[in-house]
Structure 1
Amino acid sequence: MTVHFQEVVPVDAYSVQSKGFLHEIDQKVLTMLYQPLVGAFAYSLYMTLWCEATMNQQKKKHQHLMNITQFSLKDILSGRKKLEAIGLLKTFTQDNEQTREYLYELQMPLSPKEFFTDGFLSIYLYNRLGQNRFIEVRDSFQVPFTDSSSYTDVTASFSEVFTSLHPSEMASKNFSEITENAETRDRTLFGKGTRGKLSLIEDTFDFEAMVNQISTFIVPKEVLNSQLKEAIYKLAYIYQLEPIDMSRQIQNVYYSTGEISVENLRREVQKWYRFEHEEGLPVLALRTQPIPLKAMQGMEPKTKEEELIKYFEEVSPYRLLEDYSGTTPAEVDLKLVAYCMLDQNLTPGVTNVLLDYVLSGNDMKLAKGLIERISSHWARKRIQTVPEAMALAREEKRKYKDWQDKKTKTTGYYNGKQQKPSVQLPDWLKQDSSENSVSKNNTESDTLYYDEEENRKWLESLANKSK
């Protein structure tokens, strides 16, 4: 391990330069967003270097920097490396015969929008501050915005206000004379500055090994451009993905969407991480309906239907599956629960209704395709509460009954006998709610109804097989 005096000593000279001005919003970004990540030493070092960059350009010794900051050389070096790592500083060195000189080039911090939409820095800040403080800090950078789409643009153009120069004025100075000496070898004009950019050591992730794991039949290699490659390095570093894990996420994104971007890859990796670490299958399935979405919160049920609503709201999908099977739920069933809650954003209570809906009418089987179709339909309907889910299920039952009755009148017979398909139905889907029963083992024969044509065909075929 390199000790600090092998990299820099107090007599080493340094100079500071910055290609942009540090505005008030930049200072707020540095204080509120960068400081929690790099710490007070590095933050103070950046502000000190910035002050020196705006004063004179004389070379100084690092001893001078130690005197101003009252930091040890070890602390200065540590703070410098943090600034370099987070993209706020570039360091150049030059060895002369007897001395060593450093050039510190300050980089401008990201704008608030760039910072909070960056999938790297924003995650680190979230982990440092916690959810509540993170949201509070983020909201402090928001400004009112009015949509101008309903307004008429009446902005004046340059040619409407200013007149063209007279030919004699144009001839007095040509462009090369106007711009002469604007910038020289050792002097430059101030600009808005260049934004700091994070860079990761590529040795930390075997990109080629990942590429070799990707099937070219699924993902063409040309889609892995330089921008996506940089994002892959960052995501692999943040979420500690191995090449084979990253290859799977890339293939999942491309297979499901037909394209791959930094944003949809980030969402896929985040979903994978929650699934594998923070919210594994059992933990996710153990969640219950959020209190604000509970219709029976703090109330005693007075009817059988209210008892069932309270049951769906109080138990977790894991417990509901246990009640059905009497054993630990299978992993394949828990994955379907995770799909409903993660991919389709269904609440635990609504997921319970869906599970009960399908299990009761499908011979205690959770068909993957059926679960996916119904959950996506309910997600599009923005169903969040148990009563909403039960009402939608009843409505679909009614639609299907009307359709089936019409079909029965048209065809007349099933296998030579006029009858309705026999598929079991949950009690709470029956027309007369006063006769509902909480028990799921005493359901009567009826028809399970869905609005999609594919579900109708499936049910008709299931009914014929059940005879």
Structure 2
Amino acid sequence: MRITNLHHFSENHSYCVYRDFGLGTVDGVMLSQVYQPMVGALAVSLYQLLCQQVPLEKVGYSPVEQQRRLFLTLGLEPSEKGRKLLIEMASKLEAVGLLQTSRIYLPENDDYLYEYELEAPLSPAEFFKTQHLTLLLRDKIGKFAVLSLQEQLWSREHNELAGRSMNKENISVPFYEIFELNAHSIDYELEQAIAEVSISRQPGIRLAETDSFNYADIILRFPRDSANRAYVEALRYNVEQLGTINYIAHKYELSVQDLCRLLDEDGVFGPDGTVVQEQLEHAASLSFRQVKKRKEERQLQGGKVISLRQHDSAAAAEPPLEHAVQMEYYVEVPPQFLAKCDIHQYNMMLRNEPYTRLLKTFFPGSVPDNLLDIFENIDLNYKLPSEVINVLIHYLMNLLTTGGEQRINRNFVNAIASNMLMKQVDTYEKAVQYIREQAKVKVKNESAASASGVRPRSYSRNAKLKPEIPIVQSTLPEAEAAVTEEEFAELIKMAEMMQANKKNGY
């Protein structure tokens, strides 16, 4: 029984019991001789007391009463000590499979109702087949006492019958050989009445305690001197606001400490004390992204260490198997590899080499660290196979050689990798098909842009944002455009006259 606040479990709270079985003689022996050494006499007394809440000749639910009756019948003080003792006994019964406890919130009373669902004790055969219960009983009473109990609870077959199972023949008569049912007439009224008065228990939705945070979880960890303390205390009586907070915490995977830290920030609560959902979601999203980024960095660093260790032990390990590439999935050899290998060797390299070795073949010296970090992030966090990353590298290198001013940066590569993940590209063949489709889309867009006269937009950092406007050229022939010496002298004379007039103030 997980109780984080003792004020939520007291003698004043209501309870009911559910039981769908009856205790027999064997069950009584199992409780007294097997379960009692494991959980204690007081816990078994609580179990028997709960069984008696439902009339012994019936199954189902007991009347709703206050837990004060349990405290008084068991002789427990209605205090903090008594509550802890009752919780401990119930927890022991739950641990050995005799009890299931649920808590039901009653919004009309702003209170809880506890439901104790009893389970039947295991039969001797089932109990001694359950390893963890047998080991617990051994730890409590010893190995030889366990064997003695097993002997007492099991009546062996006679020696004359031992080993005769091969000659056993089942001569039982089935139901339909004795009884005949009138299947031609169906009584719908009877079936409807049986369904309406069904005594079987309807399974309900069980909410795990760790799936949501209650008021006690938040207020115990919230700072007392915070300016938002009064707003958080008001959440005790506002179930709707608490549900909104739990939804955001579940959405962004917040722990209770992270949730308290976000509720302590400015702007999370409005002037009237209500939670500003947009502000809280924004802060929770930032926290979620920071945690995700730190986790990725740790995985990246851990992956580097693992890869170094694997590289050190690669000499002793067996060489990996080479996978062949079908001809229909061959890709073209880049220009820088034409003098080094043919199309068969290049495609085998893409299919079988790790991406770290493939990157080295594209650079005469060392691979740039920023480029290596990009693909390490894709390998460790996106979990793309190595052959898919190789096809991605091939595609990017082709873009560099044929794409003009196209540059490779982290966001561009991550966008392509995330698109491949969304399309479930997880094999070499799917990756080749993907880059072929992308090439077709690119050619189609370029042909459509050239046909319409619209210049395709460039996403390069140095690209011009304004289109180039052609300059109107002169259409005069060279003979008419030339100026003679007499005309040139006349133009000089006119310029001198205009300059003289300007000086004289005309």
**TM-score normalized with structure 2 length:** 0.34
Larger Rg: 2
